[in-house]
Amino acid sequence: MHQGNKEAGQEFPLTAISYAQTIQGLKQEDIKRIDIADGMTSWSLTNDLRLPTQVDRTIDVAMGVIGRARGIFVLYEISGRSAILFTAFTRSFSTSVECPQGR
């Protein structure tokens, strides 16, 4: 489970959960945002965040902001290479960038 900082005017911080599941014998990792209702009376998993298919593993997850867009950064590995995904929840925006090889 991953949580961001509670901002002014928010009743609950941005929250997400990452998980692994086995489908037809293949392990797949994914992440979903948790939408918490006002008053914290109920919650639901949303489908507005998806990892690219065939992610080998999730390395790290962090909540963040780009410009005015609040969202989530996901550092993951796919086919032996690292990439980072940012998905905004306050605006319709998502992008994935391959990370440069380290030394």
34-89 tens-digit pLDDT: 888 777 788 888 877 777 667 888 888 888 888 878 888 989 888 888 889 888 87
Is the pTM higher than 0.75? The answer reads: no
Token code pair at residue 96: 């994935």
Under 8 Å CB-to-CB from 5, ≥6 apart: which residues? Answer: 13, 63
Q: Yes or no: say if 48 and 76 are a contact pair by the CB < 8 Å rule.
A: no
Give the residue extent of every domain in the chain: 2-98
- pLDDT at residue 100 is higher than 80: no
Angle at 86 (CA atoms; ends 80, 90), nearest 5 degrees: 160
pLDDT band, very low/low/confident/very high, at 4 (cuts 50, 70, 90): confident
pLDDT band, very low/low/confident/very high, at 103 (cuts 50, 70, 90): low
Three-class secondary structure of residue 39 per DSSP: helix
E strands of 8-80, at which residues? 15-23, 26-36, 43-45, 57-66, 69-78
